[in-house]
Amino acid sequence: MAAKEKFAEPTYLECGFGELEYKVIKSEICCRCGTCEAFCPRIEHVENKPALVNYDPLCGLCFTYCPRTFLDMGAMESKLFGRTRNADEALGIFRKAVSAKAREASALAQDGGVATALLVQALQSGMIDCAIVTDKDGEWRTVTRLATTADEIRSAAGTKYTINNSVLAVKDALEKGCQKIGFVGTPCQIQGLRKVKLLDEPYQFGQDRIALLVGLFCMENFDYDLLMKGLVNGKFGLDAKDVARFEIKKGMFRVIDKTGKAHEVKIEETDEYTFPGCGPCFDFSSELADVSVGSVGSGDGWSTVLTRTKAGETLYSATLAAGGVQEKAVSEKGLALAKRLAAGKVKRFESKSVEMNVSGIIR
């Protein structure tokens, strides 16, 4: 049952959708994570953004859970890890860093196929009973799926470099009675769900049923129309349906078409296609996930894995023990590169925050 139906009053915070719309949506710092849409029955996704579709007497859940209204990382880390980060922890707090590769990574996998292997292991071991994944249609439009089988998880492998409100599917999972929900997504999506899990508030609507957060590394994301019309079609003369794979490697944004031909531009030349809400974003490595997975730091066909919480560590160890992944040490050089990128993202956040008048986000 959604919070609004259960607790009409009293209010939790003195800020509701009006403030959310003013502070986040209209000012274009919304990262379109879908958290506000997932937890309020009166907010829906209309014309590609959150909209209030019903009168709201003010409860404040949307404002509270949005990762762009306020986010105190020190407070979140203290609750999640029992301490705040040290100055040298540019990738956030983690227990173990390794390079890993799935034993049976499919051709769809972006890097080592580890994100998929972890979710499959979590499902097969009973740690989760569903996984929210981001799949695509034939033209690379993102499609969020509530996967309940290993094959459904596997078929969503691979990175879609366009923004998606994946968190919205938590609503479906709760409504369908899922008891242990797994989620994979970008750092901003993980922030929203971690706020939902950690903030003290009077509502109970199933947040304890969110059991696992697998976070991805993310430097930036793109707007579907801008990317497909501007870059894929405008610059490379391809239709979205002709694309076999997108990847970002060694400073290049690369599109591989279905004949196997690669088309590429320098990543700096893709700024005009970036999603505006990615500007004021400091989190490169999904610092609030149970376990984070990215490509930077490891060689081709391998993923960099950071286990952060006890749940993340247990899952990774179980996946390794079950033969779902193989591992090797992550190189010092690889980890240093990931740290440099993370620090660079924080710098961008600082300047964009001034430019876009962002307040309340404390790194």
Ligand X SMILES: Cc1cc2nc3c(=O)[nH]c(=O)nc-3n(C[C@H](O)[C@H](O)[C@H](O)COP(=O)(O)OP(=O)(O)OC[C@H]3O[C@@H](n4cnc5c(N)ncnc54)[C@H](O)[C@@H]3O)c2cc1C
Is 115 a residue that touches ligand X (CB under 6 A)?
Answer: yes
- Which is nearer to ligand X, 159 or 270 (by Cβ)? 159
How many secondary structure helices (H) and strands (E) does the chain include? Answer: 12, 15
State the residues that interact with ligand SF4 by CB under 6 A.
20, 24-25, 30-36, 50, 66-68, 163, 165, 186-188, 192, 218, 220-221, 275, 277-278, 281, 283
One of 217, 224, 273, 316 touching ligand X (CB under 6 A): 217
- The one of ligand X, ligand SF4, none whose footprint includes residue 113, by CB under 5 to 8 A per kind, is ligand X
End-to-end CA distance of the chain: 33
Structure tokens at 333: 């050089």
Is 296 a residue that touches ligand X (CB under 6 A)?
Answer: yes
Residue 259 CB, nearest approach to ligand SF4 (Å):
30
Distance CA 43, CA 145 (A): 20
Residue 236 CB neighbour total at 10 angstroms? 17
- Which is nearer to ligand SF4, 67 or 334 (by Cβ)? 67
- Which is nearer to ligand X, 109 or 193 (by Cβ)? 109
One of 34, 60, 112, 192 touching ligand X (CB under 6 A): 112
Query: In angstroms, how far is CA 342 from the centroid of its own chain?
Result: 15
- Which is nearer to ligand X, 3 or 100 (by Cβ)? 100
Distance CA 287, CA 309 (A): 10
Is 295 a residue that touches ligand X (CB under 6 A)?
Answer: yes
- Which is nearer to ligand SF4, 24 or 119 (by Cβ)? 24
- The one of ligand X, ligand SF4, none whose footprint includes residue 309, by CB under 5 to 8 A per kind, is none
Is 294 a residue that touches ligand X (CB under 6 A)?
Answer: yes
Is 161 a residue that touches ligand X (CB under 6 A)?
Answer: yes
One of 35, 64, 99, 159 touching ligand X (CB under 6 A): 159
Residue 296 CB, nearest approach to ligand X (Å):
3
- Which is nearer to ligand X, 116 or 353 (by Cβ)? 116
Pair type for strands 71-72 and 361-362: parallel
Pair type for strands 291-294 and 262-266: unpaired
Is 218 a residue that touches ligand X (CB under 6 A)?
Answer: yes
Residue 180 CB, nearest approach to ligand X (Å):
17
Residue 198 CB neighbour total at 10 angstroms? 15
Is 243 a residue that touches ligand X (CB under 6 A)?
Answer: no
One of 156, 174, 255, 315 touching ligand X (CB under 6 A): 156
Is 110 a residue that touches ligand X (CB under 6 A)?
Answer: yes
Of 98, 110, 153, the C-alpha closest to 326 is 98
Q: Indicate the SS3 state at residue 329.
A: strand
- Which is nearer to ligand SF4, 85 or 299 (by Cβ)? 85
Of 181, 180, 199, 189, the C-alpha closest to 3 is 199
Eight-state DSSP code of residue 237: -
Is 173 a residue that touches ligand X (CB under 6 A)?
Answer: no
Q: Which amino acid is at 162?
A: T
Pair type for strands 181-185 and 130-136: parallel
15-to-6, 20, 56, 167, 273 alpha-carbon distances in Å: 19, 8, 11, 21, 32
Distance CA 168, CA 159 (A): 19
Question: What does the binding site for ligand X look like in residue numbers (CB under 6 A)?
Answer: 109-116, 133-134, 142, 156-162, 164, 166, 184-186, 216-219, 221, 248, 293-296, 303
